[in-house]
């Protein structure tokens, strides 16, 4: 019986030894393996997110170009005369002129749209205008035409006093001038 107790005690000692060796594996290696597995899944998710981000970033350059084009068009819309054609742009400019003269109590006598001319790579539209107004009315109309957007320019202005009354503070003037504006090159490019 001594042998069996000895075998039994050796096998118990061996079991305890294996258990003592297994405890660090169970409490040390298994958590490490589990942590490795979680980190591996996390890394896979982060790589997928990074791939999506890189594809979005690659598309950003195209979006920035589109944004630049939109900003350029918006700025051009504010600077240049608008219209699908030269006739439409001339009509819009004539309407603006009519509104300004009416608002400032001047009288628009005639407006003639001249053919558009190529000038420094841009299409210049010209209206030949005749109106009657007092000096102050004329100043308000001319200031509004040159100060507001879209930009217009006044050239070849001729003034003629047609009624000078000693009772009136302001003389009535007959005014002839050319009103110039430039057509939006982006719209012209789209129309052709």
pLDDT of 154? 93
CA distance 131 to 107: 6
Average pLDDT score over residue span 101-111: 93
Give whichever of 47-51, 57-61, 67-71, 169-173 has the largest mean pLDDT.
47-51
Chosen domain end from 79, 101, 131: 79
How is residue 27 annotated by DSSP?
I
More confident residue, 99 or 36: 99
pLDDT of 156? 93
- Look at residue 181 and tell me whether its pLDDT is greater than 70: yes
Considering its fold, how many domains does the chain have in total?
A: 2
- Look at residue 85 and tell me whether its pLDDT is greater than 60: yes
Instruction: Assess whether 90 and 179 both reside in one domain.
Output: yes
Backbone dihedral angles phi then psi of residue 148, each to the nearest 5 degrees = -85, 165
- Look at residue 189 and tell me whether its pLDDT is greater than 70: no
Instruction: Assess whether 36 and 119 both reside in one domain.
Output: no
Nearest by Cα to 114 from 89, 132, 137, 139: 89
Structural domain boundaries, residue 110: 86-191
In contact, 82 and 184? CB cutoff 8 Å: yes
- Look at residue 59 and tell me whether its pLDDT is greater than 50: yes
pLDDT digit string (tens) for 138-170? 999 999 988 888 888 999 999 998 765 655 556
Using CA atoms, how far residue 90 sits from 9, 82, 98, 122, in Å, is 112, 9, 12, 15
Nearest by Cα to 86 from 154, 182, 156: 182
- Look at residue 54 and tell me whether its pLDDT is greater than 70: yes
Instruction: Assess whether 44 and 134 both reside in one domain.
Output: no
More confident residue, 14 or 99: 99
Please name the residues in contact with 171: beta carbons below 8 A apart, sequence gap of 6 or more. 134, 135, 161, 163, 164, 165
3-state percent breakdown (helix, strand, coil) of the chain, nearest 5: 60, 25, 15
CA distance 181 to 148: 12
pTM of the model: 0.57
More confident residue, 51 or 192: 51
Which has the minimum average pLDDT: 40-44, 48-52, 76-80, 101-105? 76-80
Instruction: Assess whether 51 and 141 both reside in one domain.
Output: no
Instruction: Assess whether 92 and 172 both reside in one domain.
Output: yes
- Look at residue 190 and tell me whether its pLDDT is greater than 50: no
- Look at residue 173 and tell me whether its pLDDT is greater than 60: yes
Residue 81: strand pairing partners: 183
User: For residue 24, what are its two tokens?
Assistant: 């660090």
Instruction: Assess whether 3 and 74 both reside in one domain.
Output: yes
Nearest by Cα to 179 from 150, 156, 147: 156
Share of the chain above pLDDT 90, in %: 31
Residue 64: CA count within 13 A, CB half-sphere = 6
Using CA atoms, how far residue 51 sits from 39, 45, 59, 61, in Å, is 18, 10, 13, 17
């Amino acid at each position: 019986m001594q042998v069996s107790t000895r075998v039994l005690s050796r096998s118990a000692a061996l079991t305890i030894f294996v258990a003592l060796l297994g405890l660090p594996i169970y409490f040390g290696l298994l958590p490490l393996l589990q942590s490795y597995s979680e980190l591996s899944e996390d890394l896979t998710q982060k790589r997928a997110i990074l791939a999506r981000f890189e594809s979005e970033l690659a598309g950003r350059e195209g979006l920035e170009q589109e944004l630049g084009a939109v900003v350029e068009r918006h700025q051009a819309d504010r600077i240049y005369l608008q219209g699908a054609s030269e006739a439409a742009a001339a009509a819009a400019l004539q309407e603006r002129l009519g509104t300004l003269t009416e608002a400032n109590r001047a009288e628009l006598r005639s407006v003639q749209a001249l053919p558009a001319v190529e000038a420094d790579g841009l299409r210049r539209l010209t209206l030949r205008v005749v109106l009657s107004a007092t000096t102050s009315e004329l100043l308000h109309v001319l200031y509004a035409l040159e100060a507001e957007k879209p930009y217009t320019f006044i050239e070849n202005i001729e003034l003629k006093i047609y009624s000078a009354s000693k009772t009136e503070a302001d003389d009535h003037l007959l005014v002839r001038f050319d009103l110039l504006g430039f057509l939006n090159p982006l719209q012209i490019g789209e129309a052709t």
